[in-house]
Structure 1
Amino acid sequence: MEVILLERVEKLGQMGEIVTVKDGFARNFLLPQKKALRATETNKAAFEADRARLEAENLERRKDAEAVASKMAGLKVIMIRAAGESGQLYGSVSSRDIADAVTEAGVAISRAQVVLDRAIKTLGLHDVVIRLHPEVSETVVVNIARSADEAETQFNTGSAVTASDADVEVVEEEVVEELFEDEAPEEAVEEVAAAADETEEEVEA
């Protein structure tokens, strides 16, 4: 089907271009969302007669979107979620969840503006694109963690904190405590030094 684009459509074309698309894509997406018109002679003439107004309105919307994008630049949001030892979430984070988090952070957006192929199901830092206008997008960092402390660690390290990481630290502490259970660390060091001196004396003898 041939259609006239009423706005820029990624990987398809700019406003005013006449492009050929699959019928299903046109009927299910472009036409109902008013992103395009069927490229009939009547619609072509109507578009050309109204082109100046449409372009002016698009320019105004783009300016508004750019203003919002400037406020969103560098934005990072934290989302606290329950997760298993491997970092797998008990549930998932959807585009609606992200839209709510960004809005709570001070920039009002809708679920439809969040570009997310699939729900997020793991802990960590996730770059998510927010499309504010067909020609204006901004990326926000979504930090999904089990607690505020873990979120801060993830910001600092750039990687997810899993339960296994915490377990390793606990085990290391327990091993150290077991080794020095009956003596202070200083005493243990003195014993090692004394043993080394004895060995050295034996060698010299």
Structure 2
Amino acid sequence: MEVILLERVNKLGQMGETVKVRDGYARNYLLPLGKALRANEANKKRFEAERSTLEARNLERRSEAQKVADQLDGKSFIVVRSAGETGQLYGSVAARDIVDVLAAEGFNIGRNQVDLNTPIKNIGLHKVVLHLHAEVEISVELNVARSADEAARQAKGESLTSADAIYGVDEDALKPEDFFDPNQMEDGDEM
């Protein structure tokens, strides 16, 4: 199906372009969300008549998204979750959780604006990309930790999943003879 794009769509085209897309994509996504019109003569005339209004609305949305991006730039958000000793989360941090964390800080971001291919399943510092507008994209840092104290230590660059963090032992200081000394064996002891 051929459609006229009413706004920029990633990997598809710019506003005003006539593109050919699959019927289901047009019917289920582009047309219901108001991102495109069917490409027929009546809609082409309608688009040309409303072009300046659409461009102004797109510019306004982009400037609003840029303001939010400027506020989010360089921010780090702490997510506290239960995890095992190795740093593996008992659950995961998904797009819904990220939206909740951002909402608690006063940012109104939709779940579809969070670019997270797979849920976060380990503690640590994670970069998450937010698509605020087709032309505005920003990356924020999520600090996933077991507690606020661990999050602060992690933000300083300390690893929470090493033997030092878990057992209070410096991995580099350990030597094999610290575990077993054959000279301490008595007669009759077996290996």
Are residue 74 (structure 1) and residue 74 (structure 2) matched? Answer: yes
Change (3 A) 1:160 1:41: farther
Larger radius of gyration: 1
Q: Secondary structure at the match of 2:156?
A: helix
Question: What CA deviation, in whole Å up to 9, does each residue of 1:5-51 have, x standing for no partner?
Answer: 11111111111111112222222221222211111222111111111
The answer for the alignment partner of 1:37 in structure 2 is 37
Q: How does 1:108-123 map to 2 (within 5 A)?
A: 108-123=108-123
Deviation at 1:111, TM superposition (A): 2.0
Q: How does 1:1-205 map to 2 (within 5 A)?
A: 1-157=1-157, 161-162=160-161, 164-170=163-169
Structure 2 unaligned segments of length 5 or more: list them: 179-191
Aligned-partner Cα distance in 2 for 1:110–1:75: 18
Structure 1 unaligned segments of length 5 or more: list them: 180-205
Q: How many residues align?
A: 173
Question: What CA deviation, in whole Å up to 9, does each residue of 1:144-200 have, x standing for no partner?
Answer: 01112221222222x75227442342487xx9xxx9xxxxxxxxxxxxxxxxxxxxx
Q: Secondary structure at the match of 1:132?
A: strand
Q: Between Structure 1 and Structure 2, which shows a larger proportion of helix residues? A: 1
Moved more, 88-97 or 99-108: 99-108
Is the Cα contact below 8 Å between 1:2 and 1:19 reproduced in 2? Answer: yes
TM-score (norm 1): 0.76
Deviation at 1:53, TM superposition (A): 0.6
Aligned-partner Cα distance in 2 for 1:125–1:171: 22
